[in-house]
Amino acid sequence: MGDADLYRRLDAMFFPRAVAVIGASEIPGKWGFMIITAIMSGGFQGSLYPVNPKKETIMGIKAYPTVAAIPETVDLAVITIPAAHVPQALQDCIAKGIPSVVLISSGFRETGAEGAVLEAEVTRIATAGGLTYIGPNTMGIISTHGHLTAIGVPIFPNPGALAIISQSGNLGMQIIQWAIHRGMGVGFYAGTGNEAQLKARDLLAYFGTRPEVKAVALYLEGVDNGRAFMETARAVTRTKPVVALKTGRSATGSKAAQSHSGSMAGSYATYSAMFKQAGIIQVSTPSELLNVSAALTHLPIPRSNRVGIMSLGGGWGVITADECETRGLKLPTLSPAIIEDLNRRIPPYWNRTNPIDLVGEASPELHLHTLDLLAHWDEVDAVIVLGVVGRLAITEAFITSQEKILGRVFSRELKLSVIKDQIQVENRFISEIARQQRETGKPILAVSLSEGGQTLNDTDYGTAMCLSSPEEAVTIIAYMAGYQAYLNSLITP
């Protein structure tokens, strides 16, 4: 099957005009119930056809006994019936002219030899009939740009520029939940399941062509053809960053991956070498996968590994400097011009080094000015801001403490007045981060003084990213700088 033909079928899968759910049900807990519930509540704008020979309607929608009885051309079928009935269902889809299938059903290679034989038969039928399917044993797919949520859990991310490919359905759902919680959009999700026909590399290549996608996140347990995967990845990473979390660092983890989905886990060191050669950014944890993907989706990529740091206090600056050295990032010495400028604005006992210690000065104008200095300094390619944002929670804690001390509750109007002032100060600074990013083309990462978790803040100038710890900020910049170094190596004679 040629790339153009495959991509046409994948277009039908991720941008369908009509979807059939084979095995649709109204019984809670059944996959046919969960899938059709998610599709309906997810705002699918095309035609939806439940297929169930025992029901006249499903969820208030007319049901059909077979796909052949559906009056319209169908782009995608989602199959949830028992494994033994899947071969006939695929033959019915082929006869109907359905080009793509999401095969939710389990009971194939992951169950042993008998299931593997059935899986091979299903794949033979699909390939011979010119049908492309994802799975079996998959949680499903999401296409926010196609208004389709065909997964077993009713979670609905906002549209975004990140594509997620996961060989674990449960972990994939958790990553999407985290993305929603942190304000991050997701363009596409594909749970690949057993990858009997459609491979992770096929989806990587496809998402690499989609204009909606700026970055791709991968959760991999194994691949069956390392050379083909690496060639695909090399082609994609030339234009779009790819972030991968590979399991199986330990012998126990490798064995678990094989038993989970039948993946060829292979040597972790071999995969790491392959990722490096292909320009894939390899991370170590799910939180890193999400943090780095979010940054690559929303922030500019640093031109090199030089970092400027400003900190509300000295301790965080020292910790961050240590982390930078560990991760191979450089902290240039402050220029005489910057030192002279800040000498006029900061008490004389400030440190005059990078990281810049603002010695607890709370002046919003000082914070904005220092940010401007660092962002426009030619000697750095990225900026980390420590402790300037996140003071709202501390302001609220002071109000509560004062109420306890005075033995009375302040008026709602007074509380709102104090909190409103702090919100305005922080919103102004966050907006300035986004403006400086757009103006300079440098990523600027803020580490919150009190709030936990990575959040994305939309402003009139773009997105600003806030994190919960210095090491998160350093890690993100290190990975991004490493990717830029890879891109530079492609054009170096």
Summarize pLDDT for 159-197 with one digit per residue, the tens: 999 999 999 999 999 999 989 988 899 999 999 999 999
| Tokens linked to 420 | 């409103």
| pLDDT for residue 407 | 86
| pLDDT for residue 101 | 98
At residue 201, does pLDDT exceed 50?
Answer: yes
| pLDDT for residue 259 | 46
| pLDDT for residue 399 | 81
For 254-265, how does the pLDDT look when each residue is reduced to its tens digit (9 = 90+)? 454 444 444 444
At residue 394, does pLDDT exceed 80?
Answer: no
In this prediction, residue 266 has a pLDDT band, given cuts at 50, 70 and 90, of low
How big is the chain by its Cα radius of gyration, in Å?
Answer: 26
Cis preceding-peptide flag for 136 (omega within 30 of 0): yes
Mean local confidence (pLDDT), 443-470: 88
Mean local confidence (pLDDT), 276-302: 96
Mean local confidence (pLDDT), 203-223: 97
At residue 325, does pLDDT exceed 90?
Answer: yes
Residues 41 and 153: their CA atoms lie apart, in Å, by: 11
Residues 158 and 382: their CA atoms lie apart, in Å, by: 28
In this prediction, residue 453 has a pLDDT band, given cuts at 50, 70 and 90, of low
| pLDDT for residue 102 | 98
Which residue carries 């559906």 as its tokens? Answer: 70
Cis preceding-peptide flag for 300 (omega within 30 of 0): no
| pLDDT for residue 268 | 84
8 A C-beta contact, residue 82 and residue 88? no
| pLDDT for residue 446 | 96
At residue 253, does pLDDT exceed 50?
Answer: no
| pLDDT for residue 493 | 60
Regarding predicted confidence, which is higher, 313 or 475? 475
Q: Which amino acid is at 97?
A: G
Strand, coil or helix: 281: strand
At residue 364, does pLDDT exceed 70?
Answer: yes
| pLDDT for residue 263 | 46
- Across 118-127, 394-403, 441-450, least confident range: 394-403
At residue 240, does pLDDT exceed 80?
Answer: yes
Neighbours of 492 (CB within 10 A): 6
| pLDDT for residue 390 | 81
Nearest by Cα to 119 from 143, 99, 137, 94? 137
Q: What percent of the chain is modeled with pLDDT above 70?
A: 95
At residue 470, does pLDDT exceed 70?
Answer: yes
| Tokens linked to 95 | 């006869």
At residue 392, does pLDDT exceed 80?
Answer: no
For 77-99, how does the pLDDT look when each residue is reduced to its tens digit (9 = 90+)? 999 999 999 999 999 999 999 99
Nearest by Cα to 83 from 22, 144, 130, 35? 22
Residues 187 and 195: their CA atoms lie apart, in Å, by: 21
8 A C-beta contact, residue 354 and residue 329? no
Q: At what angle do helices 470-491 and 314-326 cross, to 10 degrees?
A: 40
Mean local confidence (pLDDT), 290-319: 96
Question: Mind listing the domains of the chain with CATH numbers?
Answer: 1-137 (3.40.50.720), 157-298 (3.40.50.261), 307-491 (3.40.50.261)
At residue 1, does pLDDT exceed 80?
Answer: no
Neighbours of 82 (CB within 10 A): 10
Q: What average pLDDT does the structure give for the chain?
A: 92
Residues 10 and 12: their CA atoms lie apart, in Å, by: 5
| pLDDT for residue 249 | 60
Q: Which amino acid is at 81?
A: I
For 347-358, how does the pLDDT look when each residue is reduced to its tens digit (9 = 90+)? 999 999 999 999
Nearest by Cα to 12 from 86, 88, 117, 93? 93
